[in-house]
Structure 1
Amino acid sequence: MKLQGKTIGMLVGPGFEELEFWAVYMRIKEEGADIKVMGLSKNETYEGKHGGMTATSQYGPGDFAADDLDALLVPGGWAPDKLRRVEEYRQLIREMDARGKVLGFICHAGWCAASAGIMKGRKAAGSEGIKDDMEHAGAVWQDTPALIDGNIVWGRVVEDIPEYNRLLVQKLSS
Protein backbone atom coordinates (compact mmCIF):
# COMPACT_ATOMS: atom_id res chain seq x y z
CA MET A 1 0.00 0.00 0.00
CA LYS A 2 1.91 2.95 -1.39
CA LEU A 3 -0.10 5.69 0.32
CA GLN A 4 -0.34 4.25 3.84
CA GLY A 5 0.00 7.10 6.35
CA LYS A 6 -0.91 9.82 3.81
CA THR A 7 -3.79 12.18 4.57
CA ILE A 8 -5.42 13.40 1.39
CA GLY A 9 -8.17 15.98 1.09
CA MET A 10 -10.73 15.78 -1.71
CA LEU A 11 -13.07 18.64 -2.50
CA VAL A 12 -16.66 17.97 -3.54
CA GLY A 13 -19.66 20.14 -4.32
CA PRO A 14 -22.90 20.25 -6.31
CA GLY A 15 -22.57 18.88 -9.82
CA PHE A 16 -19.23 17.13 -9.23
CA GLU A 17 -18.12 14.74 -11.99
CA GLU A 18 -18.94 11.36 -10.48
CA LEU A 19 -16.18 9.27 -12.05
CA GLU A 20 -13.52 11.91 -11.45
CA PHE A 21 -14.43 11.81 -7.78
CA TRP A 22 -15.22 8.14 -7.14
CA ALA A 23 -12.63 6.47 -9.41
CA VAL A 24 -9.89 8.64 -7.89
CA TYR A 25 -11.23 8.17 -4.35
CA MET A 26 -11.25 4.38 -4.74
CA ARG A 27 -7.79 4.25 -6.32
CA ILE A 28 -6.06 6.24 -3.57
CA LYS A 29 -8.09 4.46 -0.87
CA GLU A 30 -6.92 1.16 -2.35
CA GLU A 31 -3.33 2.35 -1.75
CA GLY A 32 -4.09 3.03 1.94
CA ALA A 33 -4.67 6.80 1.95
CA ASP A 34 -6.75 8.44 4.68
CA ILE A 35 -9.19 10.57 2.68
CA LYS A 36 -10.89 13.67 4.06
CA VAL A 37 -13.86 14.75 1.92
CA MET A 38 -14.45 18.50 2.14
CA GLY A 39 -17.42 20.39 0.72
CA LEU A 40 -19.13 23.77 0.78
CA SER A 41 -20.31 22.82 4.25
CA LYS A 42 -19.79 19.97 6.68
CA ASN A 43 -21.91 16.80 6.40
CA GLU A 44 -23.63 17.82 3.18
CA THR A 45 -24.62 15.36 0.46
CA TYR A 46 -24.07 16.51 -3.12
CA GLU A 47 -25.69 15.20 -6.28
CA GLY A 48 -23.27 14.42 -9.11
CA LYS A 49 -23.33 16.13 -12.49
CA HIS A 50 -25.10 13.25 -14.24
CA GLY A 51 -27.51 12.32 -11.42
CA GLY A 52 -27.80 9.05 -9.57
CA MET A 53 -24.52 9.25 -7.64
CA THR A 54 -23.84 11.32 -4.57
CA ALA A 55 -20.93 12.15 -2.30
CA THR A 56 -21.08 13.47 1.26
CA SER A 57 -18.61 15.91 2.74
CA GLN A 58 -17.24 15.10 6.18
CA TYR A 59 -15.69 18.54 6.55
CA GLY A 60 -16.24 22.12 5.47
CA PRO A 61 -14.18 25.20 4.63
CA GLY A 62 -11.53 26.01 7.22
CA ASP A 63 -11.48 22.54 8.80
CA PHE A 64 -7.96 21.81 7.49
CA ALA A 65 -4.74 23.75 7.05
CA ALA A 66 -1.99 22.85 4.59
CA ASP A 67 0.05 21.27 7.38
CA ASP A 68 -2.79 18.79 8.06
CA LEU A 69 -2.75 17.30 4.54
CA ASP A 70 -0.24 15.56 2.29
CA ALA A 71 -2.28 16.36 -0.81
CA LEU A 72 -5.45 18.06 -2.01
CA LEU A 73 -7.40 16.68 -4.98
CA VAL A 74 -10.20 18.37 -6.90
CA PRO A 75 -12.48 16.50 -9.32
CA GLY A 76 -14.15 18.28 -12.21
CA GLY A 77 -17.74 18.73 -13.22
CA TRP A 78 -19.57 21.91 -12.23
CA ALA A 79 -18.49 21.79 -8.57
CA PRO A 80 -15.17 23.62 -9.11
CA ASP A 81 -17.10 26.71 -10.21
CA LYS A 82 -18.69 26.81 -6.74
CA LEU A 83 -15.63 25.67 -4.78
CA ARG A 84 -13.35 28.30 -6.29
CA ARG A 85 -15.53 31.02 -4.75
CA VAL A 86 -14.69 29.84 -1.22
CA GLU A 87 -11.77 31.87 0.14
CA GLU A 88 -10.78 29.14 2.60
CA TYR A 89 -10.25 26.71 -0.30
CA ARG A 90 -8.39 29.25 -2.43
CA GLN A 91 -6.13 29.91 0.57
CA LEU A 92 -5.65 26.19 1.22
CA ILE A 93 -4.59 25.67 -2.41
CA ARG A 94 -2.13 28.59 -2.17
CA GLU A 95 -0.67 27.27 1.10
CA MET A 96 -0.39 23.70 -0.18
CA ASP A 97 1.35 24.99 -3.29
CA ALA A 98 3.74 27.21 -1.30
CA ARG A 99 4.77 24.14 0.73
CA GLY A 100 5.27 22.02 -2.38
CA LYS A 101 2.51 19.63 -1.36
CA VAL A 102 0.75 17.61 -4.03
CA LEU A 103 -2.26 19.16 -5.73
CA GLY A 104 -4.41 17.21 -8.20
CA PHE A 105 -6.79 18.80 -10.70
CA ILE A 106 -8.80 17.05 -13.42
CA CYS A 107 -11.19 18.38 -16.07
CA HIS A 108 -12.81 21.64 -14.84
CA ALA A 109 -10.95 21.53 -11.49
CA GLY A 110 -8.31 23.85 -12.91
CA TRP A 111 -10.74 26.68 -12.21
CA CYS A 112 -9.83 26.30 -8.53
CA ALA A 113 -6.10 26.60 -9.30
CA ALA A 114 -6.72 29.66 -11.49
CA SER A 115 -8.84 31.36 -8.83
CA ALA A 116 -6.17 30.62 -6.22
CA GLY A 117 -3.69 32.52 -8.39
CA ILE A 118 -1.06 29.77 -8.67
CA MET A 119 -0.92 29.25 -12.45
CA LYS A 120 1.46 31.87 -13.85
CA GLY A 121 4.01 30.15 -16.10
CA ARG A 122 2.94 26.63 -15.12
CA LYS A 123 1.73 23.79 -17.31
CA ALA A 124 -1.91 22.76 -17.06
CA ALA A 125 -4.28 20.27 -18.67
CA GLY A 126 -8.02 19.81 -18.36
CA SER A 127 -11.29 20.13 -20.19
CA GLU A 128 -11.05 22.18 -23.38
CA GLY A 129 -13.83 24.32 -21.87
CA ILE A 130 -11.46 25.92 -19.35
CA LYS A 131 -8.49 26.45 -21.68
CA ASP A 132 -9.07 30.20 -22.10
CA ASP A 133 -9.55 30.71 -18.35
CA MET A 134 -6.34 28.84 -17.60
CA GLU A 135 -4.33 30.74 -20.20
CA HIS A 136 -5.70 34.05 -18.90
CA ALA A 137 -4.51 32.95 -15.44
CA GLY A 138 -1.02 32.53 -16.90
CA ALA A 139 -0.97 28.77 -17.50
CA VAL A 140 0.80 27.08 -20.39
CA TRP A 141 -1.93 24.83 -21.79
CA GLN A 142 -1.11 21.21 -22.64
CA ASP A 143 -3.51 19.01 -24.61
CA THR A 144 -2.42 15.74 -23.03
CA PRO A 145 -4.23 13.04 -21.00
CA ALA A 146 -2.29 13.74 -17.79
CA LEU A 147 0.92 15.39 -16.66
CA ILE A 148 2.96 16.36 -13.64
CA ASP A 149 4.32 19.90 -13.36
CA GLY A 150 6.26 20.29 -10.13
CA ASN A 151 3.88 19.48 -7.28
CA ILE A 152 0.73 19.54 -9.44
CA VAL A 153 -0.81 16.51 -11.16
CA TRP A 154 -3.20 17.30 -14.03
CA GLY A 155 -5.80 15.17 -15.79
CA ARG A 156 -7.72 16.15 -18.90
CA VAL A 157 -11.15 14.43 -18.83
CA VAL A 158 -13.00 11.30 -17.63
CA GLU A 159 -11.42 9.08 -20.29
CA ASP A 160 -7.99 10.05 -18.91
CA ILE A 161 -8.66 8.95 -15.31
CA PRO A 162 -6.44 5.84 -15.56
CA GLU A 163 -3.39 7.92 -16.55
CA TYR A 164 -4.27 10.64 -14.03
CA ASN A 165 -4.58 8.04 -11.25
CA ARG A 166 -1.26 6.45 -12.24
CA LEU A 167 0.52 9.81 -12.04
CA LEU A 168 -1.22 10.70 -8.76
CA VAL A 169 -0.08 7.50 -7.08
CA GLN A 170 3.40 7.94 -8.54
CA LYS A 171 3.70 11.52 -7.26
CA LEU A 172 2.13 10.80 -3.86
CA SER A 173 4.38 7.81 -3.23
CA SER A 174 7.65 9.49 -4.27
Structure 2
Amino acid sequence: MSQLTDKRVAFLMTDGVEQVEYTGPRAALEEAGATVVLVSPKPDSVQGFNHVDKGDAFAVELPVGQADSADFDALVLPGGVVNADDLRTDPTSVAFAKAFFEQHKPVGAICHAAWTLVEAGVVDGRTLTSWPSLQTDLRNAGATWVDHEVVTDKGLVTSRKPDDIPAFASKLIEEIAEGPHGAQHA
Protein backbone atom coordinates (compact mmCIF):
# COMPACT_ATOMS: atom_id res chain seq x y z
CA MET A 1 0.00 0.00 0.00
CA SER A 2 1.50 3.36 -0.96
CA GLN A 3 -1.35 5.86 -0.72
CA LEU A 4 0.79 8.21 1.33
CA THR A 5 4.08 8.17 -0.56
CA ASP A 6 5.68 11.64 -0.33
CA LYS A 7 3.53 12.56 2.70
CA ARG A 8 5.20 13.63 5.97
CA VAL A 9 3.22 13.26 9.16
CA ALA A 10 4.13 14.72 12.55
CA PHE A 11 3.18 12.87 15.74
CA LEU A 12 3.18 15.41 18.59
CA MET A 13 3.56 13.83 22.02
CA THR A 14 5.42 13.82 25.33
CA ASP A 15 5.86 11.61 28.40
CA GLY A 16 2.73 9.75 29.43
CA VAL A 17 1.58 9.03 25.88
CA GLU A 18 -0.70 5.99 25.56
CA GLN A 19 1.83 3.81 23.74
CA VAL A 20 -0.53 1.90 21.43
CA GLU A 21 -2.16 5.18 20.32
CA TYR A 22 1.25 6.11 18.94
CA THR A 23 2.59 2.77 17.69
CA GLY A 24 -0.65 1.58 16.05
CA PRO A 25 -1.38 4.66 13.92
CA ARG A 26 2.33 5.18 13.17
CA ALA A 27 2.67 1.62 11.82
CA ALA A 28 -0.47 2.03 9.68
CA LEU A 29 0.72 5.34 8.21
CA GLU A 30 4.19 4.00 7.51
CA GLU A 31 2.70 0.91 5.86
CA ALA A 32 0.69 3.28 3.67
CA GLY A 33 3.95 4.95 2.61
CA ALA A 34 4.09 8.02 4.87
CA THR A 35 7.23 9.35 6.50
CA VAL A 36 6.46 9.79 10.19
CA VAL A 37 8.33 12.09 12.59
CA LEU A 38 7.99 12.07 16.39
CA VAL A 39 7.86 15.72 17.49
CA SER A 40 8.02 16.61 21.17
CA PRO A 41 8.70 19.39 23.65
CA LYS A 42 11.10 16.87 25.26
CA PRO A 43 14.61 16.90 23.80
CA ASP A 44 15.63 13.23 23.85
CA SER A 45 12.94 10.61 24.42
CA VAL A 46 9.30 10.20 25.32
CA GLN A 47 8.10 7.65 27.88
CA GLY A 48 5.15 5.60 26.70
CA PHE A 49 2.59 4.00 28.97
CA ASN A 50 0.21 1.07 28.68
CA HIS A 51 -2.61 2.72 30.61
CA VAL A 52 -0.91 3.16 34.02
CA ASP A 53 2.06 0.84 33.46
CA LYS A 54 5.35 2.16 32.12
CA GLY A 55 5.94 1.07 28.54
CA ASP A 56 8.66 1.77 26.00
CA ALA A 57 10.68 4.95 25.50
CA PHE A 58 10.64 6.48 22.02
CA ALA A 59 13.39 8.65 20.55
CA VAL A 60 12.36 12.22 19.78
CA GLU A 61 13.07 12.85 16.11
CA LEU A 62 12.43 16.60 16.13
CA PRO A 63 12.02 19.04 19.04
CA VAL A 64 8.76 20.97 18.69
CA GLY A 65 10.67 24.25 19.01
CA GLN A 66 12.49 23.41 15.77
CA ALA A 67 9.46 21.96 13.97
CA ASP A 68 7.64 23.87 11.24
CA SER A 69 4.12 22.74 10.36
CA ALA A 70 4.77 23.83 6.76
CA ASP A 71 7.17 20.87 6.48
CA PHE A 72 4.38 18.35 7.17
CA ASP A 73 1.23 17.19 5.41
CA ALA A 74 -0.67 16.19 8.57
CA LEU A 75 -0.55 16.01 12.35
CA VAL A 76 -1.48 13.15 14.69
CA LEU A 77 -2.01 13.63 18.42
CA PRO A 78 -1.91 10.36 20.38
CA GLY A 79 -3.69 10.26 23.74
CA GLY A 80 -2.73 9.49 27.29
CA VAL A 81 -3.91 11.65 30.18
CA VAL A 82 -0.48 12.92 31.24
CA ASN A 83 0.69 13.43 27.65
CA ALA A 84 -2.35 15.45 26.66
CA ASP A 85 -2.39 17.47 29.86
CA ASP A 86 1.29 18.38 29.48
CA LEU A 87 0.96 19.29 25.79
CA ARG A 88 -1.97 21.62 26.38
CA THR A 89 0.13 23.62 28.86
CA ASP A 90 3.07 23.98 26.46
CA PRO A 91 2.53 27.10 24.29
CA THR A 92 4.93 25.92 21.57
CA SER A 93 3.11 22.59 21.21
CA VAL A 94 -0.29 24.29 21.15
CA ALA A 95 0.88 26.75 18.48
CA PHE A 96 2.35 23.90 16.41
CA ALA A 97 -0.98 22.02 16.52
CA LYS A 98 -3.01 25.13 15.70
CA ALA A 99 -0.86 25.88 12.66
CA PHE A 100 -2.09 22.69 10.95
CA PHE A 101 -5.65 24.00 11.16
CA GLU A 102 -4.58 27.40 9.84
CA GLN A 103 -2.95 25.61 6.88
CA HIS A 104 -6.07 23.46 6.26
CA LYS A 105 -4.13 20.21 6.84
CA PRO A 106 -5.56 16.96 8.19
CA VAL A 107 -5.28 16.39 11.93
CA GLY A 108 -5.99 13.24 13.93
CA ALA A 109 -6.58 13.11 17.69
CA ILE A 110 -7.41 10.08 19.79
CA CYS A 111 -8.56 9.67 23.37
CA HIS A 112 -7.40 12.56 25.63
CA ALA A 113 -5.54 14.33 22.79
CA ALA A 114 -8.54 16.55 22.17
CA TRP A 115 -7.44 18.63 25.17
CA THR A 116 -4.67 20.08 23.01
CA LEU A 117 -7.27 21.02 20.39
CA VAL A 118 -9.40 22.75 23.02
CA GLU A 119 -6.37 24.77 24.13
CA ALA A 120 -5.59 25.64 20.50
CA GLY A 121 -9.12 27.03 20.09
CA VAL A 122 -9.94 24.88 17.05
CA VAL A 123 -12.98 22.83 18.13
CA ASP A 124 -15.72 25.48 18.15
CA GLY A 125 -18.45 24.44 15.70
CA ARG A 126 -16.82 21.03 15.05
CA THR A 127 -18.18 17.54 15.70
CA LEU A 128 -15.76 15.14 17.33
CA THR A 129 -15.32 12.29 19.75
CA SER A 130 -12.81 11.56 22.50
CA TRP A 131 -12.42 9.64 25.72
CA PRO A 132 -15.84 10.21 27.38
CA SER A 133 -14.44 12.23 30.30
CA LEU A 134 -13.54 15.05 27.88
CA GLN A 135 -17.05 15.58 26.55
CA THR A 136 -17.88 18.46 28.90
CA ASP A 137 -14.58 20.21 28.09
CA LEU A 138 -15.27 19.85 24.38
CA ARG A 139 -18.87 21.06 24.66
CA ASN A 140 -17.74 24.03 26.76
CA ALA A 141 -15.27 24.86 23.96
CA GLY A 142 -18.13 24.91 21.41
CA ALA A 143 -17.83 21.41 19.95
CA THR A 144 -20.53 18.84 19.41
CA TRP A 145 -19.38 15.65 21.15
CA VAL A 146 -20.58 12.24 19.95
CA ASP A 147 -19.80 8.72 21.14
CA HIS A 148 -18.60 7.04 17.93
CA GLU A 149 -15.63 4.87 17.01
CA VAL A 150 -14.32 7.50 14.61
CA VAL A 151 -15.57 10.93 13.55
CA THR A 152 -14.35 12.96 10.59
CA ASP A 153 -15.17 16.66 10.35
CA LYS A 154 -13.56 18.58 7.48
CA GLY A 155 -10.13 16.96 7.80
CA LEU A 156 -10.25 16.47 11.58
CA VAL A 157 -10.29 12.77 12.54
CA THR A 158 -11.05 11.82 16.15
CA SER A 159 -11.50 8.55 18.05
CA ARG A 160 -12.19 7.53 21.63
CA LYS A 161 -9.74 4.84 22.74
CA PRO A 162 -7.25 2.13 21.75
CA ASP A 163 -10.01 -0.21 20.54
CA ASP A 164 -10.81 2.40 17.85
CA ILE A 165 -7.28 2.44 16.38
CA PRO A 166 -8.07 0.40 13.23
CA ALA A 167 -10.91 2.74 12.25
CA PHE A 168 -8.90 5.80 13.31
CA ALA A 169 -5.87 4.78 11.24
CA SER A 170 -8.01 3.95 8.20
CA LYS A 171 -9.72 7.37 8.27
CA LEU A 172 -6.37 9.12 8.85
CA ILE A 173 -4.94 7.48 5.75
CA GLU A 174 -7.97 8.54 3.73
CA GLU A 175 -7.90 12.15 4.93
CA ILE A 176 -4.13 12.53 4.52
CA ALA A 177 -4.31 11.05 1.00
CA GLU A 178 -6.96 13.67 0.12
CA GLY A 179 -4.57 16.46 1.18
CA PRO A 180 -5.54 19.90 2.47
CA HIS A 181 -9.20 20.49 3.32
CA GLY A 182 -10.44 23.99 2.58
CA ALA A 183 -12.98 23.76 5.41
CA GLN A 184 -10.30 22.84 7.97
CA HIS A 185 -9.65 26.03 9.90
CA ALA A 186 -8.47 27.48 13.18
| TM-score normalised by L of structure 2 | 0.89
Equivalent residues of 1:46, 1:56 under 8 A apart: no
Higher mean Cα deviation, 55-64 or 154-163?
55-64
Paired position in structure 1 for 2:16: 15
2:151 aligns with: 147
Q: How does 1:134-173 map to 2 (within 5 A)?
A: 134-173=138-177
What one-letter code is carried by the residue in structure 1 that aligns with 2:19?
E
Q: Which residue of 1 aligns with 2:121?
A: 117
Q: How many residues matched?
A: 174
Aligned partners of 1:13, 1:59: CA distance in 2, in Å? 12
Which residues in structure 2 correspond to 1:1-174 (within 5 Å)?
1-48=2-49, 49=51, 50-78=53-81, 79-174=83-178
Query: After TM superposition, what 4+ stretches of structure 1 lie above 4 angstroms from structure 2?
Result: none
> Which consecutive residues of structure 2, in runs of 5 or more, have no partner in the other structure?
179-186
TM-score by length of 1: 0.95
Q: Which has the higher strand share?
A: 2
Unaligned runs of 5+ in 1: none
Task: Name the SS of the counterpart of 1:13 in structure 2.
Answer: coil
RMSD of Structure 2 on Structure 1 (CA): 1.2
Q: State the Cα distance separating 1:8 from its structure 2 match.
A: 0.5
Matched-pair contact (CA < 8 Å) for 2:129–2:145: yes
Letter in 2 for 1:111: W
- Identity across matched positions, percent: 26
The 1-side partners of 2:65 and 2:159 are apart by 26
Q: Cα gap change, 1:6/1:51 in structure 2, threshold over 3 Å: closer, same or farther? A: same
Paired with 1:125 and 1:56, the residues of 2 have a C-alpha distance of: 29
